[in-house]
Amino acid sequence: MYHVMARGNEQKAIFHDDTDRKIFLNALAQAREQFGLVLHAYCLMSNHYHLAAQTPRGNLSQAMGWMQTTYSVRFNRRHVRSGHLFQGRFKAHLVEADAYARSLVMYIHLNPVRPHDKQGSINPEMRDFLDGYPWSSHRVYAGLTNRKEVPAWLCLDWLWYFGHEPGTARREYRRQMDRCFVRPASDLLEAAQGGLVLGGERFWEAVKERMAGSTGREEIRWSSRANQAEQAMRVEKLLMGESDRRIEIWARVRLGGERLVNVAARYGYSDASGVHRVVERLEALALEDPSVGVKIQKLRSLMDAAELL
């Protein structure tokens, strides 16, 4: 089980109109037929999409790679353009369904009304907008569609996480969704273990054990991401209380191994070159200013000690 999402290149739109959205869903339906995907929930936004997908054949990369490439070709042909449409590979979180299925379905469906402020509440006046939003599976889960409107490729097995009878399950789903409009919105992905897994500690440990020692290309990539995520978490703890943005940026790049483009987006730089200059200038300053040099060395030592624990 996975939560899958991808953004447009440079965060630009991947859908210009409803015809594009229909072309995307058609490609998704074809991927489901060709690769045996089981699709539990979806939401299309202007510059990204979200899916809750299951891969009985263990072929997520192949299936999503085919789907994104197919849609990109059709999009480019329709809009007479060339070049990348998506911002690199899709992102995927492995999901422990019994623990997170309900939360994930609601997280995906709330995207059209989620505020930019992660600590803010969803505007109650947006309820009607969400109920009318046609480009997600929310209306199906809420029982707001007729049978002809339900996509043939959408699996509704996860509706049973809300109740054992269709009417009861839909009422409980609507009740839980309504609660999201009267309390601050939570970012489910912040709970992801190592930035990779939506599941409990035992599930996370089992995943790491399965990945360890594997020679498969996908498992190696996931192991690398898991290590990077753990490094980033260590750096986050080291930087608690740090007021110097230059030190923060340096530590995220040099100690956490974060990509320059991600750090640039976090700190408001237009591109990676600005972050690169900050790191180089701070390292040059450390050679002239002992206080800066000592601070950097202390962070390096603390990071080394944390990795040995």
Kindly report the CATH number assigned to the domain that includes residue 130.
Answer: 3.30.70.1290
Q: Are 250 and 182 within one domain?
A: no
Q: Are 145 and 24 within one domain?
A: yes
Name the pLDDT band for 11 (thresholds 50, 70, 90).
confident
pLDDT of the residue at 161: 92
Task: Note down the domain range covering 93.
Answer: 2-197
Give the domain-ending residue among 179, 197, 215: 197
Q: Which of 37, 2, 5, 52 is nearest to 207 (CA)?
A: 2
Q: Measured on CA atoms in the order 160, 161, 165, 168, is the torsion positive or negative? A: negative
Q: Is residue 203 part of a domain?
A: no
Q: Are 152 and 27 within one domain?
A: yes
Helix pair 97-109, 166-179: axis angle to 10 deg: 60
Q: Are 163 and 235 within one domain?
A: no
The region of weakest confidence among 68-72, 169-173, 194-198, 230-234 is 194-198
- 36-40, 193-197, 229-233: range with highest mean pLDDT: 36-40
Q: Is residue 221 part of a domain?
A: no
pLDDT > 90? residue 44: yes
Residue-wise pLDDT tens digits, 95-116: 888 888 888 999 999 999 988 7
Strands (E), 86-129: 91-95
pLDDT of the residue at 111: 92
Q: Are 110 and 45 within one domain?
A: yes
pLDDT of the residue at 233: 76
Q: Are 61 and 173 within one domain?
A: yes
Q: Which of 231, 244, 241, 102 is nearest to 177 (CA)?
A: 102
Domain count, the chain: 2
Q: Are 87 and 187 within one domain?
A: yes
pLDDT of the residue at 288: 87
State the Cα–Cα distance between residues 244 and 38, nearest whole angstrom: 47
Contacts of 122 (CB under 8 A, 6+ apart): 110, 113, 114, 115, 180, 181, 185
Q: Are 190 and 258 within one domain?
A: no
User: Which two tokens mark 275?
Assistant: 């972050």
pLDDT > 60? residue 269: yes
Q: Is residue 223 part of a domain?
A: no
Q: Is residue 224 part of a domain?
A: no
The region of weakest confidence among 38-47, 116-125, 193-202, 209-218 is 209-218
State the Cα–Cα distance between residues 209 and 203, nearest whole angstrom: 10
Q: How many residues does the chain have?
A: 309
